[in-house]
Amino acid sequence: MTESQHQGTHHVVHQTPLGTMHLAASAGQLTGAWFVGQLHGAREEDLGPRVEVADSPVLAQAVQELEEYFAGQRTEFTVAVRPEGTDFQLAVWEALNEVPFGFTTTYGAISKQVGPHAPAQAVGQAVARNRLMIFVPCHRVIAADGKMTGYSAGVEKKRFLLDFERPGEQESTLF
């Protein structure tokens, strides 16, 4: 069955250096990228039927881009994404997309960016609900004191991603 024959959401399972991920798409856009077992992970209704990568151009592109990322050949993703959330969550995720490869930011910096009086804790909750792990780089957010804080896929995965994006370099933080 080709993607054009899939009217709803469909998914593939993909192995990464950090573990198994579910990648979901609908209407030619990536709608989810979750690690198996993560907090706020994929629910059955988020995935739809499992398909072959070759049957879904958007999922094939997402897989290819992930492989290029982990091979050190890609620093930005171009696959079409469709995040789903509240207006506040969407604003936070858009701010995450502005943090370039190799840099980090803080929850407080994002709270100032997304609106007046947005508490850093609310930003943290929105970051934790990111449905597009790696593609929307929530791993690039750290505490104001530079400490590694929660990551819905596990702090060890966050540390890996940050170290991977900054091999042998000093930390670069955007504020």
**Encoding tokens for residue 82?**
């469709």
Distances from the Cα of 5 to the Cαs of 8, 17, 59, 78, 174, in angstroms? 9, 31, 14, 23, 43
Distance, CA of 18 to CA of 16 (rounded, Å): 5
Closest CA to 28 of 75, 80, 69: 80
- Burial class for 40, CB neighbours closer than 10 Å (0-12, 13-18, 19+): middle
Catalytic residue among 109, 138, 142, 153: 138
Distance, CA of 93 to CA of 137 (rounded, Å): 8
Question: Are 106 and 144 spatial neighbours (Cβ–Cβ below 8 Å)?
Answer: yes
- Burial class for 168, CB neighbours closer than 10 Å (0-12, 13-18, 19+): exposed
Report CA Rg, the chain. 16
Mark whether 75 is an active-site residue. no
Where in the sequence numbering do the catalytic residues fall?
138
